[in-house]
Structure formats: structure tokens, C-alpha cells
């Protein structure tokens, strides 16, 4: 009975394993790849840690408004081991804007770091989308290469049969075989490109990738060309980060100018003296207003800090202009490339259709002796080259469309919708 139970358990285990092995693996979609990158990529986690540090600095700056407590005790040069000390409680009342400016500076720095997180997020989304699209393009070219190998194998078998019937020469057979090897070499090269591209996507998503789902054609539905610049300008994280850095520079100037101003405190002190002998303990309390200021380097230190802050602000302004110009150039470049790829797809589609008809016609003419074997092989090679170029242009168009979507915030919106 025990043996039967064990046998049944083994059979059930094997059956379950077979079912699991036979279960289809869901193809990875672009949207899932984007989410996986944001969830798993350590680059984003590192930037988020920097933002958390900036938030900590902001909390520290706000705490300057709270009272501070200090205690000092000593028994130095005291042979009788008596203890004396002072407890000081200090509450800032008026700092001439220094505390507020310190908080503003911390908030500005925190805003810059937050936008830095968004910038890394945008870059990861763009890289993931481009990597995903490139794999789709390689898969399409692999399909063309496989069809080309199959066609050359068919032609090679055909010329072998004609040679056996003494209707073709050895040179024709060798030529067909060399073209077959070239077709297989092209397919092997594409296999290598596929493995490299797949590795790049896995490095971004940190997921094992076996199969990809096609990218939705909705990503090709872009806004009008005349609207792309305004959309890119409104959704540019890089430009927003530079503007936040400019605001931080403005705060730094105000902070440097007020650094030498005094601070008014309400201060309470308690002095104590504990005697180990027969002397009475002494305790004394004091309270009052304290006005405190320092002028380092006879004021030249503060002046140098102001000049430095003004120079940094000027650099931040120039950085905004540079970023805006680069963004405009990027938008125009993408628009131009998209128009070019649309034209290439249209032209290459017509060329491929014409060559397919030519290849069929040449095959019939070769069988009737009106075309040479070399003409037939050359037509097939040209057809394959045009098909590969067509798939390359189709993929380039998709890649550019995804880059435009990323630039205007489309990928961010898609990920945000799926996270809700």
C-alpha cells in the first residue's frame, strides 16, 4: 500500500511539473517593462536616497526656530572635587530673515533633488522604451532573414536538381551555395544583435526576458508637429530642474547678504556650584535678551560669499538658456527624423512590392531560359536588402515616436495610470 501511495505521489508530481513546463510564459509588454525598470533599477533608488537626504536637511533647517539647550560642567583644577556648571536655554526671537532664508534654501535644494529623481526616472523610461523597440526591430529583421535563408535553400535545391539533369553548371551550384551561406551569416549576425539587445533590456528591468509583446500602434499617434515644442517645453524635467537651481541661487544671494546681520535671542541661564566640603552650594538664575552677531574677516568674508552667490546665479541663468536651446534642437531633430522615416517607409514599401514581383518574374524567365541564374540570385539578394531596410525604417520610426512620447511626458503618464 505504501509503495502504491509513493508511486501515485511521484506521478502527480511529474504531471504537475509537466503542466507547469507546458504553461505558456506571458510575453513582456512595454508597459510592464517600464514599471519593472522603475521598481527594480538601483539608479532610481540611489537618486531617491539623495532626495531623502535633502528632506532631512529641510527638517534640520526648520528646527532652527526651536529653542536650544546647552549644558557645561567642569571640575578642572579643583582639588576638592567640587562641581560647577551652567545650563543655558536660548530661543531665537528675530534673526533678520536668516532662519527663513535657511529654510528657503533647504526647500530649494530639496526641489532640485526631487526634480533630479524625476529626471532619472524619465531617462530610465526613455532607455527602456528604446531598448524594447530595438528588440522588436531585430525580431522583425530576423523574420526577414529566416525567409531569405529558406528561399536560398529552395533555390539551392532547385539548382542541384538541374545540375543532376545536366541543365546547370557547377559554377551555378557554387554560386547558389555561397549566397546561401551569406544569408545564414546575416541571420547569425542578427541573432547576436538580439542577444545583446536582450541583455541591455534585462539590465534595465532586472527581469529575465524571454518573449516580448509587440508595441502598441497607439504610440505612433503623436500630437501635431507645431504643438510638440510647447509640449516638450511644458514637460521638460531638465529645464524645470535648471529653473529650480536658479531659484536656489536667488535664495543663496539673500542668505549671503544677511549672514552678517545679528540675531536676537531670549536667553535663560542657570549657574550651579556643588561643594563636597562644608561650603554652601551656590545657584544663580538669569534671563534676558541677547543680541549676537559676528563679522568674519572684517566683513570681507561676507562680501566674497555674496559675489560667489551672484556668480552662481549668472551661471544658472546661462544654464537655462543652454538647456532651452538643446531642447529646441532635440525637438526639431526628432521631428525631422520622423518625417524622414515616414518617407523611407513609404518608398521602401513600394520598392519591396516591386521587387517581389520582379523576383517571381525572373524565376519564370529563368526556367524558360530568358534570365540567367546570376540574375535570379541578385534579385533575391536585393529583395532581402530592401526588406531589411524597410524593417529598419519601420523600427526607427517607432523608436523616434517613443522618444517623442518620453520627451512630452507620455511615458510618465502611462506608468502613472498603471500604478493607480
Mean pLDDT of 387-411: 95
Cβ atoms of 160 and 177 closer than 8 Å: no
Most distant pair of Cα atoms in the chain: their distance: 133
Cell of 109: 535644494
pLDDT tens per residue, range 201-229: 999 999 998 889 999 999 999 999 889 99
Task: Say which residue the cell 527663513 belongs to.
Answer: 100
Quick check: 5 pLDDT over 60?
no
Q: Considering only residues 148 and 270, tell me which one the structure prediction assigns the higher pLDDT.
A: 148
Quick check: 73 pLDDT over 50?
yes
Among 243, 255, 248, CA closest to 306: 255
Q: What share of the chain is helix, strand, coil (3-state, %, to 5)?
A: 75, 10, 15
Mean pLDDT of 339-343: 96
Q: What is the spatial distance between Cα 170 and Cα 319, in angstroms, rounded to a whole number?
A: 69
408 contact partners, CB below 8 Å, separation of at least 6: 223, 228, 231, 232, 235
Name the average pLDDT for the chain.
84
Q: What is the spatial distance between Cα 88 and Cα 69, in angstroms, rounded to a whole number?
A: 6
Cell of 408: 512630452
Mean pLDDT of 120-145: 95
Q: What is the spatial distance between Cα 157 and Cα 128, in angstroms, rounded to a whole number?
A: 43
Q: What is the spatial distance between Cα 138 and Cα 393, in angstroms, rounded to a whole number?
A: 12
DSSP 28: B
Q: What is the spatial distance between Cα 309 and Cα 303, in angstroms, rounded to a whole number?
A: 10
- pLDDT recorded at residue 230: 93
**How far separated are the first and last CA of the chain, in Å rounded?**
55
Quick check: 23 pLDDT over 50?
no
Q: What is the spatial distance between Cα 141 and Cα 187, in angstroms, rounded to a whole number?
A: 9
Would you list the domain boundaries of the chain?
Answer: 26-414
What would the DSSP string read from start to end of 320-376? HHHHHHHHHHHHHHHHHHHHHHHHHHHHHHHHHHHHHHHHHHHHHHHHTTSS-HHHH
Cβ atoms of 295 and 302 closer than 8 Å: yes
Mean pLDDT of 376-387: 90
Give the up-direction half-sphere exposure of residue 330: CA atoms within 13 A in the CB hemisphere: 19
Q: CA separation (Å) from 130 to 220, 238, 397, 399, 402?
A: 14, 19, 11, 6, 7
* Helical spans, DSSP H, in 23-97: 30-40, 42-62
Cβ atoms of 284 and 148 closer than 8 Å: no
Give me the residues paired with residue 92 across strands. 265
Residue range 26-414 forms a domain whose CATH class is: mainly alpha
- pLDDT recorded at residue 279: 54
- pLDDT recorded at residue 19: 38
Mean pLDDT of 235-249: 92
Q: CA separation (Å) from 229 to 292, 327, 405?
A: 53, 9, 12
Q: What is the spatial distance between Cα 407 and Cα 387, in angstroms, rounded to a whole number?
A: 30
Cβ atoms of 289 and 264 closer than 8 Å: yes
Q: pLDDT tier at 171 (50, 70, 90 boundaries)?
A: confident
Cβ atoms of 142 and 194 closer than 8 Å: yes
pLDDT tens per residue, range 278-291: 555 577 888 888 88
Quick check: 418 pLDDT over 80?
no
Quick check: 306 pLDDT over 90?
no
Q: Considering only residues 59 and 78, tell me which one the structure prediction assigns the higher pLDDT.
A: 59
Amino acid at each position: 500500500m505504501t509503495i502504491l501511495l509513493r508511486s501515485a505521489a511521484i506521478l502527480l508530481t511529474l504531471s504537475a511539473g509537466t503542466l507547469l513546463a507546458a504553461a505558456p510564459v506571458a510575453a513582456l509588454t512595454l508597459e510592464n517593462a517600464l514599471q519593472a525598470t522603475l521598481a527594480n533599477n538601483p539608479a532610481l533608488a540611489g537618486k531617491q536616497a539623495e532626495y531623502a537626504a535633502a528632506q532631512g536637511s529641510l527638517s534640520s533647517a526648520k528646527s532652527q526656530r526651536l529653542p536650544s539647550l546647552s549644558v557645561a560642567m567642569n571640575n578642572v583644577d579643583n582639588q576638592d572635587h567640587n562641581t560647577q556648571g551652567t545650563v543655558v536655554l536660548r530661543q531665537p526671537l528675530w534673526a533678520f530673515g536668516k532662519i527663513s532664508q535657511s529654510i528657503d534654501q533647504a526647500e530649494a535644494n530639496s526641489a532640485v533633488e526631487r526634480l533630479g529623481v524625476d529626471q532619472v526616472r524619465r531617462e530610465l523610461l526613455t532607455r527602456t522604451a528604446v531598448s524594447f523597440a530595438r528588440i522588436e526591430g531585430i525580431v522583425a529583421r530576423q523574420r526577414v532573414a529566416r525567409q531569405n535563408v529558406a528561399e536560398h535553400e529552395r533555390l539551392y535545391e532547385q539548382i542541384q536538381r538541374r545540375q543532376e539533369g545536366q541543365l546547370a553548371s557547377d559554377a551555378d551550384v557554387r554560386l547558389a551555395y555561397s549566397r546561401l551561406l551569406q544569408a545564414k551569416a546575416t541571420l547569425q549576425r542578427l541573432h547576436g544583435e538580439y542577444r545583446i539587445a536582450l541583455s541591455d533590456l534585462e539590465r534595465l528591468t532586472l527581469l529575465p526576458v524571454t518573449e516580448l509583446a509587440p508595441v502598441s500602434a497607439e504610440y505612433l499617434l503623436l500630437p501635431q508637429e507645431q504643438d510638440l515644442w510647447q509640449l516638450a517645453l511644458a514637460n521638460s524635467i531638465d529645464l524645470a530642474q535648471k529653473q529650480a537651481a536658479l531659484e536656489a541661487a536667488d535664495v543663496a544671494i539673500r542668505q549671503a547678504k544677511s549672514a552678517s546681520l545679528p540675531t536676537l535671542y531670549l536667553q535663560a541661564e542657570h549657574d550651579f556650584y556643588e561643594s563636597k566640603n562644608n561650603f554652601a552650594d551656590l545657584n544663580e538664575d538669569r534671563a534676558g535678551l541677547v543680541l549676537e552677531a559676528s563679522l568674519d574677516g572684517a566683513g570681507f568674508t561676507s562680501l566674497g560669499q555674496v559675489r560667489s552667490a551672484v556668480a552662481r546665479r549668472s551661471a544658472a541663468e546661462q544654464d537655462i538658456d543652454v538647456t532651452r536651446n538643446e531642447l529646441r534642437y532635440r525637438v526639431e531633430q526628432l521631428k525631422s527624423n520622423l518625417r524622414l522615416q515616414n518617407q523611407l517607409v513609404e518608398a521602401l514599401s513600394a520598392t519591396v512590392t516591386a521587387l517581389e514581383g520582379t523576383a517571381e518574374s525572373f524565376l519564370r524567365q529563368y526556367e524558360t531560359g530568358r534570365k540567367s541564374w546570376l540574375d535570379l540570385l541578385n534579385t533575391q539578394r536585393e529583395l532581402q536588402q530592401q526588406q531589411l531596410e524597410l524593417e529598419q525604417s519601420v523600427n526607427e520610426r517607432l523608436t523616434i515616436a517613443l522618444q517623442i512620447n518620453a520627451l512630452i511626458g507620455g511615458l510618465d503618464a502611462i506608468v502613472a495610470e498603471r500604478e493607480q
